[in-house]
Structure 1
Protein backbone atom coordinates (compact mmCIF):
# COMPACT_ATOMS: atom_id res chain seq x y z
CA UNK A 1 0.00 0.00 0.00
CA UNK A 2 1.37 3.41 -0.97
CA UNK A 3 1.55 5.81 1.98
CA UNK A 4 0.62 9.47 1.74
CA UNK A 5 4.30 10.36 2.30
CA UNK A 6 5.16 8.52 -0.90
CA UNK A 7 2.61 10.57 -2.84
CA UNK A 8 4.09 13.93 -1.87
CA UNK A 9 6.38 15.39 -4.52
CA UNK A 10 6.81 18.93 -3.16
CA UNK A 11 5.46 20.26 0.10
CA UNK A 12 4.79 23.64 1.65
CA UNK A 13 4.20 23.98 5.39
CA UNK A 14 2.59 27.27 6.39
CA UNK A 15 3.36 28.29 9.97
CA UNK A 16 1.87 31.34 11.68
CA UNK A 17 4.90 31.53 14.03
CA UNK A 18 8.31 29.88 14.28
CA UNK A 19 7.98 26.38 15.84
CA UNK A 20 4.34 25.82 14.80
CA UNK A 21 5.59 23.86 11.78
CA UNK A 22 7.72 21.55 13.94
CA UNK A 23 4.99 21.04 16.52
CA UNK A 24 2.44 20.24 13.82
CA UNK A 25 4.33 18.20 11.26
CA UNK A 26 8.01 18.00 12.14
CA UNK A 27 7.90 14.22 11.87
CA UNK A 28 6.49 14.33 8.36
CA UNK A 29 9.06 16.95 7.39
CA UNK A 30 11.86 14.70 8.64
CA UNK A 31 10.56 11.81 6.53
CA UNK A 32 10.24 14.01 3.45
CA UNK A 33 13.80 15.17 3.98
CA UNK A 34 14.94 11.54 4.07
CA UNK A 35 13.31 11.01 0.69
CA UNK A 36 14.86 14.11 -0.86
CA UNK A 37 11.45 15.74 -1.32
CA UNK A 38 11.50 19.54 -1.70
CA UNK A 39 10.00 20.80 1.54
CA UNK A 40 9.45 24.51 2.02
CA UNK A 41 8.29 26.35 5.12
CA UNK A 42 6.56 29.73 5.17
CA UNK A 43 6.81 31.47 8.53
CA UNK A 44 4.19 34.15 8.34
CA UNK A 45 4.95 36.41 11.30
CA UNK A 46 7.81 37.83 13.31
CA UNK A 47 7.90 39.63 16.64
CA UNK A 48 8.01 43.40 16.69
CA UNK A 49 9.33 45.93 19.21
CA UNK A 50 8.59 46.76 21.95
CA UNK A 51 7.17 43.35 22.80
CA UNK A 52 10.28 41.63 21.40
CA UNK A 53 13.88 42.82 21.60
CA UNK A 54 16.29 42.70 18.67
CA UNK A 55 18.39 40.17 20.57
CA UNK A 56 15.41 37.88 21.09
CA UNK A 57 14.45 38.04 17.42
CA UNK A 58 18.00 37.31 16.29
CA UNK A 59 18.13 34.33 18.63
CA UNK A 60 14.83 33.01 17.29
CA UNK A 61 16.11 33.19 13.70
CA UNK A 62 19.18 31.18 14.75
CA UNK A 63 16.94 28.63 16.43
CA UNK A 64 14.74 28.39 13.35
CA UNK A 65 17.72 27.78 11.07
CA UNK A 66 19.09 25.13 13.45
CA UNK A 67 15.75 23.34 13.66
CA UNK A 68 15.38 23.18 9.90
CA UNK A 69 18.92 21.99 9.38
CA UNK A 70 17.93 18.95 11.46
CA UNK A 71 14.85 18.38 9.30
CA UNK A 72 16.68 19.00 5.98
CA UNK A 73 14.16 21.65 4.98
CA UNK A 74 14.74 22.92 1.45
CA UNK A 75 14.07 26.58 2.20
CA UNK A 76 12.49 28.81 4.84
CA UNK A 77 10.41 31.73 3.59
CA UNK A 78 10.01 34.56 6.12
CA UNK A 79 6.94 36.67 5.30
CA UNK A 80 7.67 39.16 8.08
CA UNK A 81 4.15 40.12 9.15
CA UNK A 82 3.55 41.24 12.76
CA UNK A 83 3.09 38.44 15.29
CA UNK A 84 -0.08 38.50 17.39
CA UNK A 85 -1.32 41.34 15.17
CA UNK A 86 -2.38 39.71 11.92
CA UNK A 87 -5.85 41.10 12.50
CA UNK A 88 -4.31 44.50 11.73
CA UNK A 89 -3.05 43.31 8.32
CA UNK A 90 -5.34 43.59 5.30
CA UNK A 91 -6.80 40.17 4.62
CA UNK A 92 -6.25 40.65 0.89
CA UNK A 93 -2.58 41.35 1.54
CA UNK A 94 -2.03 38.07 3.37
CA UNK A 95 -4.04 36.24 0.71
CA UNK A 96 -1.77 37.68 -1.97
CA UNK A 97 1.45 36.81 -0.17
CA UNK A 98 0.46 33.19 0.29
CA UNK A 99 -0.99 32.88 -3.21
CA UNK A 100 2.21 34.29 -4.72
CA UNK A 101 4.26 31.75 -2.79
CA UNK A 102 2.00 28.93 -3.99
CA UNK A 103 2.50 30.04 -7.60
CA UNK A 104 6.27 30.36 -7.13
CA UNK A 105 6.79 26.99 -5.44
CA UNK A 106 4.01 24.93 -7.08
CA UNK A 107 3.66 22.46 -4.19
CA UNK A 108 1.38 19.48 -4.63
CA UNK A 109 0.78 19.30 -0.86
CA UNK A 110 0.18 22.15 1.57
CA UNK A 111 0.03 21.86 5.37
CA UNK A 112 -1.83 24.61 7.24
CA UNK A 113 -2.69 25.35 10.88
CA UNK A 114 -6.13 24.25 11.99
CA UNK A 115 -8.83 26.88 11.62
CA UNK A 116 -10.25 26.23 15.09
CA UNK A 117 -7.01 27.05 16.93
CA UNK A 118 -7.42 29.50 19.80
CA UNK A 119 -4.72 31.87 18.49
CA UNK A 120 -6.20 34.49 16.16
CA UNK A 121 -3.06 34.46 13.98
CA UNK A 122 -3.64 30.76 13.31
CA UNK A 123 -7.24 31.37 12.32
CA UNK A 124 -6.31 34.15 9.91
CA UNK A 125 -3.48 32.17 8.31
CA UNK A 126 -5.85 29.25 7.84
CA UNK A 127 -8.45 31.45 6.15
CA UNK A 128 -5.91 33.06 3.81
CA UNK A 129 -4.35 29.70 2.99
CA UNK A 130 -7.75 28.43 1.85
CA UNK A 131 -7.95 31.37 -0.52
CA UNK A 132 -4.40 30.85 -1.77
CA UNK A 133 -4.84 27.17 -2.65
CA UNK A 134 -8.19 27.47 -4.43
CA UNK A 135 -8.35 25.36 -7.61
CA UNK A 136 -8.90 28.49 -9.71
CA UNK A 137 -6.67 27.46 -12.62
CA UNK A 138 -5.16 24.40 -14.30
CA UNK A 139 -2.47 23.95 -11.63
CA UNK A 140 -2.95 24.07 -7.88
CA UNK A 141 -2.03 22.01 -4.80
CA UNK A 142 -3.88 18.71 -4.99
CA UNK A 143 -3.63 17.97 -1.29
CA UNK A 144 -4.45 20.22 1.66
CA UNK A 145 -4.03 19.09 5.26
CA UNK A 146 -4.54 20.89 8.58
CA UNK A 147 -2.15 20.06 11.43
CA UNK A 148 -2.60 20.34 15.18
CA UNK A 149 -0.49 22.59 17.39
CA UNK A 150 -0.16 21.80 21.08
CA UNK A 151 -1.27 24.78 23.21
CA UNK A 152 -3.43 26.14 20.39
CA UNK A 153 -5.53 23.41 18.76
CA UNK A 154 -6.54 21.76 22.04
CA UNK A 155 -7.90 24.97 23.59
CA UNK A 156 -10.96 25.39 21.40
CA UNK A 157 -14.36 25.89 23.04
CA UNK A 158 -16.28 22.59 22.69
CA UNK A 159 -19.52 23.02 20.81
CA UNK A 160 -18.74 26.65 20.04
CA UNK A 161 -15.61 26.59 17.88
CA UNK A 162 -14.57 23.82 15.46
CA UNK A 163 -12.96 20.75 16.98
CA UNK A 164 -9.91 19.01 15.54
CA UNK A 165 -11.11 15.61 14.32
CA UNK A 166 -8.23 13.93 12.47
CA UNK A 167 -8.91 11.64 9.54
CA UNK A 168 -5.31 11.15 8.41
CA UNK A 169 -2.61 9.58 10.56
CA UNK A 170 0.95 9.43 9.21
CA UNK A 171 3.43 7.04 10.79
CA UNK A 172 6.39 9.16 11.92
CA UNK A 173 8.21 6.61 14.06
CA UNK A 174 11.35 7.01 11.95
CA UNK A 175 11.20 10.79 12.16
CA UNK A 176 10.11 11.34 15.77
CA UNK A 177 13.57 11.77 17.29
CA UNK A 178 14.45 14.41 14.70
CA UNK A 179 11.15 16.18 15.31
CA UNK A 180 11.97 16.32 19.02
CA UNK A 181 15.52 17.47 18.26
CA UNK A 182 14.18 20.19 15.97
CA UNK A 183 11.80 21.39 18.66
CA UNK A 184 14.65 21.32 21.17
CA UNK A 185 16.56 23.62 18.80
CA UNK A 186 13.84 26.19 19.49
CA UNK A 187 15.33 26.54 22.96
CA UNK A 188 13.55 29.82 23.75
CA UNK A 189 10.19 28.15 23.11
CA UNK A 190 10.67 24.88 25.01
CA UNK A 191 9.16 24.64 28.47
CA UNK A 192 9.48 22.15 31.31
CA UNK A 193 6.86 19.42 31.67
CA UNK A 194 3.94 19.48 32.38
CA UNK A 195 3.77 22.46 30.01
CA UNK A 196 2.22 21.58 26.68
CA UNK A 197 5.30 23.05 24.99
CA UNK A 198 7.60 20.43 26.45
CA UNK A 199 9.46 17.52 24.90
CA UNK A 200 7.49 15.13 27.09
CA UNK A 201 4.11 16.48 25.98
CA UNK A 202 5.08 16.44 22.32
CA UNK A 203 6.29 12.86 22.66
CA UNK A 204 3.09 11.85 24.44
CA UNK A 205 0.94 13.30 21.65
CA UNK A 206 2.94 11.41 19.01
CA UNK A 207 2.56 8.18 20.99
CA UNK A 208 -1.17 8.75 21.47
CA UNK A 209 -1.78 9.51 17.79
CA UNK A 210 0.26 6.45 16.91
CA UNK A 211 -1.66 4.20 19.28
CA UNK A 212 -4.90 5.33 17.64
CA UNK A 213 -3.79 3.48 14.49
CA UNK A 214 -1.59 0.78 16.09
CA UNK A 215 1.70 2.53 15.38
CA UNK A 216 4.43 3.59 17.79
CA UNK A 217 4.24 7.24 16.74
CA UNK A 218 2.14 9.30 14.34
CA UNK A 219 1.10 12.81 13.43
CA UNK A 220 -2.58 13.50 12.90
CA UNK A 221 -4.15 15.74 10.29
CA UNK A 222 -7.49 16.76 8.88
CA UNK A 223 -7.58 16.20 5.15
CA UNK A 224 -9.39 19.24 3.77
CA UNK A 225 -9.07 18.35 0.09
CA UNK A 226 -7.37 15.81 -2.14
CA UNK A 227 -7.72 15.71 -5.90
CA UNK A 228 -6.96 12.33 -7.48
Structure 2
Protein backbone atom coordinates (compact mmCIF):
# COMPACT_ATOMS: atom_id res chain seq x y z
CA UNK A 1 0.00 0.00 0.00
CA UNK A 2 1.16 3.52 -0.79
CA UNK A 3 0.67 6.25 1.81
CA UNK A 4 1.14 9.96 1.10
CA UNK A 5 1.54 12.60 3.80
CA UNK A 6 1.17 16.17 2.52
CA UNK A 7 2.90 18.73 4.73
CA UNK A 8 2.72 22.52 4.32
CA UNK A 9 6.16 22.88 5.94
CA UNK A 10 8.95 20.48 6.80
CA UNK A 11 8.27 19.02 10.28
CA UNK A 12 4.46 19.19 10.08
CA UNK A 13 4.47 15.59 8.87
CA UNK A 14 6.32 14.42 11.99
CA UNK A 15 4.25 16.52 14.39
CA UNK A 16 0.99 15.19 13.01
CA UNK A 17 1.72 11.76 11.59
CA UNK A 18 5.19 10.73 12.79
CA UNK A 19 4.12 7.74 14.87
CA UNK A 20 1.66 6.53 12.26
CA UNK A 21 4.35 6.82 9.59
CA UNK A 22 6.63 4.61 11.68
CA UNK A 23 3.82 2.09 12.10
CA UNK A 24 3.08 1.98 8.36
CA UNK A 25 6.76 1.54 7.50
CA UNK A 26 7.21 -1.31 9.98
CA UNK A 27 4.15 -3.01 8.50
CA UNK A 28 5.80 -2.92 5.06
CA UNK A 29 3.88 -0.09 3.42
CA UNK A 30 5.45 2.58 1.21
CA UNK A 31 5.27 6.04 2.79
CA UNK A 32 5.93 9.24 0.83
CA UNK A 33 6.04 12.81 2.09
CA UNK A 34 5.29 15.89 0.00
CA UNK A 35 6.58 19.12 1.56
CA UNK A 36 4.74 21.91 -0.22
CA UNK A 37 6.69 25.01 0.83
CA UNK A 38 10.25 26.07 1.49
CA UNK A 39 11.36 29.27 3.17
CA UNK A 40 11.95 32.18 0.82
CA UNK A 41 15.54 33.53 0.99
CA UNK A 42 14.18 37.06 1.38
CA UNK A 43 12.60 36.07 4.70
CA UNK A 44 14.85 33.31 6.03
CA UNK A 45 18.67 33.01 6.09
CA UNK A 46 19.95 30.65 3.41
CA UNK A 47 21.99 28.59 5.87
CA UNK A 48 18.90 28.00 8.03
CA UNK A 49 16.90 26.87 4.99
CA UNK A 50 19.64 24.47 3.94
CA UNK A 51 19.85 23.10 7.48
CA UNK A 52 16.09 22.59 7.68
CA UNK A 53 16.11 20.71 4.37
CA UNK A 54 18.90 18.47 5.64
CA UNK A 55 17.03 17.88 8.92
CA UNK A 56 13.92 16.79 7.06
CA UNK A 57 15.83 14.41 4.82
CA UNK A 58 17.65 12.81 7.76
CA UNK A 59 14.45 12.51 9.80
CA UNK A 60 12.63 10.86 6.91
CA UNK A 61 15.57 8.54 6.28
CA UNK A 62 15.47 7.52 9.94
CA UNK A 63 11.75 6.69 9.68
CA UNK A 64 12.18 4.74 6.44
CA UNK A 65 10.17 7.06 4.22
CA UNK A 66 10.51 6.02 0.56
CA UNK A 67 10.83 9.50 -0.92
CA UNK A 68 10.39 13.16 0.00
CA UNK A 69 9.07 15.52 -2.65
CA UNK A 70 9.79 19.24 -2.16
CA UNK A 71 7.50 21.47 -4.21
CA UNK A 72 9.41 24.66 -3.36
CA UNK A 73 6.47 27.05 -3.01
CA UNK A 74 7.36 30.03 -0.77
CA UNK A 75 6.43 29.51 2.88
CA UNK A 76 4.20 32.17 4.46
CA UNK A 77 3.56 33.51 0.95
CA UNK A 78 1.45 30.64 -0.36
CA UNK A 79 -1.64 32.85 -0.53
CA UNK A 80 0.10 34.93 -3.19
CA UNK A 81 0.50 31.96 -5.55
CA UNK A 82 -2.32 31.25 -8.03
CA UNK A 83 -4.38 28.41 -6.58
CA UNK A 84 -4.36 26.46 -9.85
CA UNK A 85 -0.56 26.22 -9.72
CA UNK A 86 -0.63 24.70 -6.24
CA UNK A 87 -3.46 22.37 -7.22
CA UNK A 88 -1.58 21.19 -10.29
CA UNK A 89 1.68 20.39 -8.49
CA UNK A 90 0.03 18.52 -5.65
CA UNK A 91 -2.20 16.69 -8.12
CA UNK A 92 0.85 15.60 -10.12
CA UNK A 93 2.41 14.11 -6.98
CA UNK A 94 -0.80 12.21 -6.24
CA UNK A 95 -1.01 10.91 -9.81
CA UNK A 96 2.62 9.75 -9.70
CA UNK A 97 2.48 8.00 -6.31
CA UNK A 98 -1.09 6.66 -6.60
CA UNK A 99 -1.61 6.40 -2.85
CA UNK A 100 -4.37 4.41 -1.19
CA UNK A 101 -4.18 6.60 1.93
CA UNK A 102 -3.55 10.36 2.11
CA UNK A 103 -2.97 12.57 5.15
CA UNK A 104 -3.58 16.32 4.89
CA UNK A 105 -3.27 19.21 7.36
CA UNK A 106 -6.40 20.32 9.19
CA UNK A 107 -8.15 23.05 7.21
CA UNK A 108 -8.91 25.01 10.41
CA UNK A 109 -5.26 25.52 11.38
CA UNK A 110 -4.18 29.07 12.15
CA UNK A 111 -1.47 29.17 9.48
CA UNK A 112 -2.97 30.09 6.12
CA UNK A 113 -0.47 27.79 4.36
CA UNK A 114 -2.11 24.85 6.12
CA UNK A 115 -5.59 25.82 4.96
CA UNK A 116 -4.43 26.29 1.37
CA UNK A 117 -2.56 22.98 1.28
CA UNK A 118 -5.57 21.21 2.76
CA UNK A 119 -7.90 22.64 0.12
CA UNK A 120 -5.52 22.03 -2.78
CA UNK A 121 -4.93 18.43 -1.75
CA UNK A 122 -8.67 17.84 -1.54
CA UNK A 123 -8.86 18.86 -5.20
CA UNK A 124 -6.28 16.20 -6.01
CA UNK A 125 -7.98 13.40 -4.05
CA UNK A 126 -11.42 13.78 -5.65
CA UNK A 127 -12.77 10.28 -6.37
CA UNK A 128 -13.04 10.79 -10.12
CA UNK A 129 -9.81 9.13 -11.19
CA UNK A 130 -9.13 5.59 -12.32
CA UNK A 131 -6.95 5.15 -9.25
CA UNK A 132 -9.17 5.71 -6.22
CA UNK A 133 -7.77 7.00 -2.95
CA UNK A 134 -9.55 4.90 -0.36
CA UNK A 135 -8.87 6.93 2.79
CA UNK A 136 -8.22 10.62 3.46
CA UNK A 137 -7.44 11.91 6.95
CA UNK A 138 -6.59 15.34 8.34
CA UNK A 139 -4.02 15.64 11.11
CA UNK A 140 -3.36 18.13 13.88
CA UNK A 141 -0.21 20.26 14.10
CA UNK A 142 0.93 21.64 17.42
CA UNK A 143 1.06 25.48 17.52
CA UNK A 144 -1.30 25.69 14.53
CA UNK A 145 -4.38 23.54 15.14
CA UNK A 146 -4.94 24.67 18.72
CA UNK A 147 -4.07 28.37 18.30
CA UNK A 148 -6.66 29.52 15.77
CA UNK A 149 -9.70 31.62 16.73
CA UNK A 150 -12.06 29.15 18.44
CA UNK A 151 -15.07 28.63 16.21
CA UNK A 152 -17.26 25.76 15.11
CA UNK A 153 -16.06 26.23 11.53
CA UNK A 154 -12.42 25.40 12.25
CA UNK A 155 -12.37 23.14 15.31
CA UNK A 156 -10.41 19.88 15.09
CA UNK A 157 -12.74 17.04 16.14
CA UNK A 158 -10.86 13.74 15.86
CA UNK A 159 -12.81 10.58 15.11
CA UNK A 160 -9.94 8.24 14.24
CA UNK A 161 -7.06 7.24 16.51
CA UNK A 162 -3.90 5.28 15.79
CA UNK A 163 -2.20 3.49 18.67
CA UNK A 164 1.45 4.60 18.52
CA UNK A 165 2.54 3.36 21.95
CA UNK A 166 5.17 1.18 20.29
CA UNK A 167 6.29 4.04 18.04
CA UNK A 168 6.22 7.09 20.32
CA UNK A 169 9.96 6.95 21.00
CA UNK A 170 10.60 6.77 17.26
CA UNK A 171 8.35 9.78 16.64
CA UNK A 172 10.20 11.77 19.29
CA UNK A 173 13.56 10.79 17.82
CA UNK A 174 12.41 11.69 14.31
CA UNK A 175 11.33 15.12 15.56
CA UNK A 176 14.62 15.62 17.41
CA UNK A 177 16.35 15.96 14.02
CA UNK A 178 14.54 19.30 13.55
CA UNK A 179 16.79 21.39 15.76
CA UNK A 180 15.90 24.54 13.81
CA UNK A 181 12.21 24.09 14.70
CA UNK A 182 12.24 22.79 18.26
CA UNK A 183 12.12 24.97 21.32
CA UNK A 184 11.77 24.51 25.09
CA UNK A 185 8.66 23.47 26.98
CA UNK A 186 6.02 24.83 27.56
CA UNK A 187 6.13 25.87 23.89
CA UNK A 188 3.97 23.38 21.93
CA UNK A 189 6.82 22.65 19.51
CA UNK A 190 8.89 21.02 22.19
CA UNK A 191 9.58 17.33 22.60
CA UNK A 192 7.81 17.34 25.96
CA UNK A 193 4.64 18.87 24.49
CA UNK A 194 4.68 16.42 21.57
CA UNK A 195 4.93 13.50 23.97
CA UNK A 196 2.21 14.98 26.20
CA UNK A 197 -0.23 15.31 23.30
CA UNK A 198 0.44 11.72 22.26
CA UNK A 199 -0.27 10.54 25.79
CA UNK A 200 -3.45 12.63 25.98
CA UNK A 201 -4.71 11.21 22.68
CA UNK A 202 -3.74 7.76 23.88
CA UNK A 203 -5.69 8.12 27.11
CA UNK A 204 -8.78 8.91 25.03
CA UNK A 205 -8.75 5.36 23.67
CA UNK A 206 -7.12 3.61 26.61
CA UNK A 207 -3.58 3.18 25.28
CA UNK A 208 -0.23 4.71 26.26
CA UNK A 209 0.08 6.98 23.21
CA UNK A 210 -1.87 7.74 20.06
CA UNK A 211 -2.21 10.14 17.14
CA UNK A 212 -5.63 11.59 16.39
CA UNK A 213 -7.13 12.29 12.96
CA UNK A 214 -10.34 13.46 11.35
CA UNK A 215 -11.62 10.99 8.79
CA UNK A 216 -12.38 13.06 5.70
CA UNK A 217 -13.39 10.22 3.39
CA UNK A 218 -13.29 6.43 3.33
CA UNK A 219 -14.25 4.34 0.32
CA UNK A 220 -14.99 0.66 0.87
CA UNK A 221 -14.64 -1.45 -2.26
State the TM bucket, normalised to the shorter chain: over 0.9
Residues 1:123 and 2:115 aligned together? yes
| Distance (whole Å) between structure 1 residues aligned to residue 64 and residue 95 of structure 2 | 23
Secondary structure of the corresponding residue to residue 220 of structure 1: strand
| Distance (whole Å) between structure 2 residues aligned to residue 212 and residue 168 of structure 1 | 11
Secondary structure of the corresponding residue to residue 137 of structure 1: coil
| Distance (whole Å) between structure 1 residues aligned to residue 10 and residue 159 of structure 2 | 26
Partner in structure 2 of residue 166 of structure 1: 158
2:14 to 19, 22, 28: 22
Partner in structure 2 of residue 178 of structure 1: 170
Q: Per-residue CA shift, 1:144-201, capped at 9, x if unaligned?
A: 0000000000012222641000000000111111110111100110100010000000
Matches within 5 A, 1:94-173: 94-159=86-151, 161-173=153-165
Secondary structure of the corresponding residue to residue 70 of structure 2: strand
Instruction: Provide structure 2 residue ranges, at least 5 long, that are not aligned to the other structure.
Output: none
Partner in structure 2 of residue 224 of structure 1: 216
1:215 to 204, 207, 213: 207
Secondary structure of the corresponding residue to residue 196 of structure 1: coil
Partner in structure 1 of residue 60 of structure 2: 68
| Distance (whole Å) between structure 2 residues aligned to residue 158 and residue 73 of structure 1 | 34
2:179 to 172, 187, 206: 187
| Distance (whole Å) between structure 2 residues aligned to residue 162 and residue 13 of structure 1 | 21
| Distance (whole Å) between structure 2 residues aligned to residue 173 and residue 158 of structure 1 | 30
Question: TM-score by structure 1 length?
Answer: 0.95
- Alpha carbon RMSD of aligned pairs, Å? 0.9
| Distance (whole Å) between structure 1 residues aligned to residue 149 and residue 72 of structure 2 | 30
Deviation at 1:61, TM superposition (A): 1.2
Instruction: Provide structure 1 residue ranges, at least 5 long, that are not aligned to the other structure.
Output: 1-8
Partner in structure 1 of residue 194 of structure 2: 202
| Distance (whole Å) between structure 2 residues aligned to residue 161 and residue 53 of structure 1 | 36
Number of paired residues?
Answer: 220
| Distance (whole Å) between structure 2 residues aligned to residue 120 and residue 28 of structure 1 | 25
| Distance (whole Å) between structure 1 residues aligned to residue 152 and residue 206 of structure 2 | 31
Deviation at 1:140, TM superposition (A): 2.2
